[in-house]
Amino acid sequence: MGPVGLPQTLAFDKVRDEGCTGFMLLACPDCAAQMPETAAFCPGCGRAMLTPPQAQGKAGIFAENVAGAIAYITFIPAILFLVLEPYKRNRFLRFHSVQCLLMWGVGIIVALALRVTSLLLFLIPLAGPLFVLLTSVIFALAAVLLWLVLVVKALQGEMFKLPWLGDFAARHAGEL
């Protein structure tokens, strides 16, 4: 129950604006701040109001979200989803497959750059190998964490975009 024994309103209730504007307002589910129906973020707490597109159907023998997560296992399922017939027509799978391949490409470039840098840093007697080990561990942990986030977001049915790579993947996923 709300204040003074009144029932609480449901999240995202639409109420007519009291002024002369004539448009509908939304109530934030977190802080109950009023905002226009087209608001992307709550002006009171900053919560995102627009929900991203979600995976809803099936693609071949898999549910879309499961196939999206499978695309991140290695680059092989990602390539297969881009060339095999029932999967290559699914925008959600194309997005995750392209983003996976781009992530692999960036990972290989970063690994090569770390390898070249490590060859130079090994020339420094004590601090060089220690710095190489520290940087390698940090980049490996970051890569595993990023991979886990992408798999979980795909399982949740979200088209989670990585900076720069996600925009390219979304453009490519829109093409057929």
Read off the pLDDT band of 144 (50, 70, 90).
very high
Q: Which of 91, 38, 85 is nearest to 61 (CA)?
A: 85
pLDDT at 84 over 50: yes
24 lies in the same domain as 62: no
The residue written with tokens 């027509």 in the block is 89
Predicted pLDDT of residue 47: 78
68 lies in the same domain as 22: no
42 lies in the same domain as 106: no
Give mean pLDDT, residues 119-137. Answer: 89
pTM of the full predicted structure?
A: 0.66
91 lies in the same domain as 142: yes
106 lies in the same domain as 43: no
26 lies in the same domain as 101: no
The residue written with tokens 């060089």 in the block is 128
Supply the range of the domain harboring residue 16. 1-50
37 lies in the same domain as 62: no
Read off the pLDDT band of 79 (50, 70, 90).
very high
Please count the structural domains in the chain.
2
138 lies in the same domain as 111: yes
Residue 36 host element (H or E): strand 34-36
Mention every residue, 6+ apart, whose C-beta is less than 8 A from residue 60: 67, 84, 86, 87
Query: Whats the size of the chain, residue-wise?
Result: 176
Q: What is the pLDDT of residues 92-120, one digit of tens each?
A: 899 999 999 999 999 999 999 999 999 98
105 lies in the same domain as 151: yes
Q: What is the pLDDT of residues 15-74, one digit of tens each?
A: 444 454 555 677 887 788 887 877 778 888 887 766 555 666 777 788 888 988 999 998
Least confident of 106-110, 151-155, 165-169: 165-169
Give mean pLDDT, residues 131-155. Answer: 94
31 lies in the same domain as 71: no
